[in-house]
């Protein structure tokens, strides 16, 4: 092999790993935004139900304040889910990798990075919502808990589960279709259990 061929192979390796890292990060960021959006939307729905008296919930908010707060949380949740739906998660899921273990490792590391980012964002937003109704502070707390979910449950449970589901022996080609929903469910269940 000539020196130029070795240089091309190294350059292609570098681009391959950069593409693998960016694809994994984008996928995990999309899943984190889906999870946070679903949690905020659920909190908004709970406030609407409490505002109309359909759910017995102790709250010191007036009906109008509760409904406006529910609308803000619902719009924020829908916005996050909309951003995530425009993301490249599905496309990146079908990207070629040399080894599925590489994809799993980069997804686990990306989940940790996304978790740290969500915790940092929650820390920045926490002082800004202190003077607003308590459910908005709960929304920021949900953001922090989504970040905590990205730190350990998703890398330790969700990513290995997705790797197992993607294995061709278990589900065949359908494994590609169920691995992202499996990681989403693990992230959402971690958020529910942590809150």
What's this model's pTM, rounded to 2 decimal places?
0.85
Greatest Cα pair distance in the chain: 76
SS3 category, 168: coil
Domain extent, residue 108, equals 3-194
* Total tally of structural domains belonging to the chain: 1
pLDDT digits (tens, 9 = 90+) for 67-120: 888 899 999 999 999 988 887 666 656 666 778 888 889 999 999 999 999 999
Token pair listed for 128: 């800004």
How many residues does this entry show for the chain?
195
């Amino acid at each position: 092999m000539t020196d130029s061929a070795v240089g091309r192979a190294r350059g292609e390796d570098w681009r391959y790993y950069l593409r693998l890292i960016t694809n994994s990060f984008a996928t995990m960021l999309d899943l984190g935004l889906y999870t946070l959006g679903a949690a905020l939307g659920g909190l908004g729905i709970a406030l609407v139900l409490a505002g109309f008296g359909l759910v017995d919930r102790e709250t010191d908010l007036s009906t109008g304040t509760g409904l406006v707060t529910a609308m803000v949380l619902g719009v924020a949740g829908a916005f996050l889910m909309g951003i995530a739906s425009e993301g490249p998660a599905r496309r990146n899921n079908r990207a070629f990798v040399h080894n599925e273990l590489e994809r799993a490792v980069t997804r686990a590391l990306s989940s940790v990075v996304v978790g740290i980012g969500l915790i940092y964002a929650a820390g920045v937003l926490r002082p800004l919502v202190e003077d607003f109704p308590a459910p908005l502070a709960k929304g920021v707390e949900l953001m922090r808990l989504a970040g905590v979910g990205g730190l350990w449950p998703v890398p330790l449970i969700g990513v290995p589960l997705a790797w197992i589901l993607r294995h061709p022996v278990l589900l065949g080609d359908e494994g590609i279709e169920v691995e992202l929903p499996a990681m989403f469910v693990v992230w959402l269940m971690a958020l529910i259990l942590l809150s």
